[in-house]
Homo-oligomer: A and B are copies of this chain.
């Protein structure tokens, strides 16, 4: 390990690793890298030989369709999440990864992770678990888009973001920054930006929450969770608050 090895702070999803595991994973980090807002981090199909842990900022993952204007946001990563650990076992991704805000990431070369996994298969299992949690979040997004109508979708989405950002130490008391445009929100929830606007107006008028200038304030969490059919234990029951 180089003496100037960067050692990211443990937060968010990565808290599933024990401190010792985290320490040994951190040893694999070779670099801290930055991306400006709205820049592409990687593209579908591109060969990848490193994975990124998000340290600061918000990252979006989009599945592109056959036309430029047809795509869906399939995931959002918050600090503490691995952005593209999925590329480790398979060498590339099926989707685009984009920096929504300016972003700071820790770089983990696949070669180092592979070496670590050969030395300590149990750590490999813990990292595997992180990608499995990621898949569970994907499934919940399917549930949201498929089973709920527009108002419920937005409410449910805000509840998930509140929970995940709070777990990442980036919000409390139902207040947090969510630097997404209404168009972003529409792409994440499978609805038009115009309709997103109407829905958040209704949510504001009802007194449940506000979403303005990239900041969310939830005033009635119980009600928002109810109309969003949101259950905080949606991730295996591991997050129950």
A129 at the interface (CB under 8 A from B): yes
The answer to whether B133 touches A132 (Cβ under 8 A) is no
| Residue among A92, A118, A145, A235 with most chain B CB within 10 A | A145
Interface stretch of the complex, out of A33-41, A136-144, A206-214: A136-144
Residues of B within 8 A of A188 (CB): 146
The answer to whether A65 touches B121 (Cβ under 8 A) is no
A7 at the interface (CB under 8 A from B): no
- Known contacts A124-B124, A131-B135; decide if A143 and B72 are in contact (CB<8 Å): yes
The answer to whether B136 touches A139 (Cβ under 8 A) is no
Partner of A139, one of B67, B138, B234: B138
Residues of B within 8 A of A92 (CB): 236-237
The answer to whether B135 touches A72 (Cβ under 8 A) is no
A203 at the interface (CB under 8 A from B): no
A75 at the interface (CB under 8 A from B): yes
A63 at the interface (CB under 8 A from B): yes
Q: Which secondary structure dominates chain A's binding surface?
A: helix
- Known contacts A74-B143, A86-B132, A145-B145; decide if A94 and B125 are in contact (CB<8 Å): no
Please report the C-alpha to C-alpha distance between residue A117 and residue B73 in the assembled complex, in whole angstroms: 34
Min C-beta distance of A25 to chain B, whole Å: 15
A223 at the interface (CB under 8 A from B): no
Residues of B within 8 A of A70 (CB): 147, 229
How many residues on the A side are at the interface (Cβ–Cβ under 8 A)?
55
Residues of B within 8 A of A107 (CB): none
In the complex formed, the residue of B with least CB distance to A63 is B143
A189 at the interface (CB under 8 A from B): yes
A27 at the interface (CB under 8 A from B): no
| 20 pairs of residues in contact across A and B, judged by CB atoms under 8 Å | A61-B139, A63-B142, A65-B143, A65-B231, A67-B229, A72-B146, A73-B146, A74-B139, A74-B142, A75-B139, A89-B132, A94-B139, A94-B234, A124-B125, A128-B128, A135-B138, A142-B145, A145-B146, A146-B187, A146-B189
Query: Which of A's residues lie within 8 Å of B, judged by CB?
Result: 45, 61, 63, 65-67, 70-75, 86, 88-90, 92-95, 114, 117-118, 121-122, 124-126, 128-129, 131-136, 138-143, 145-147, 187-190, 229, 231, 234-237
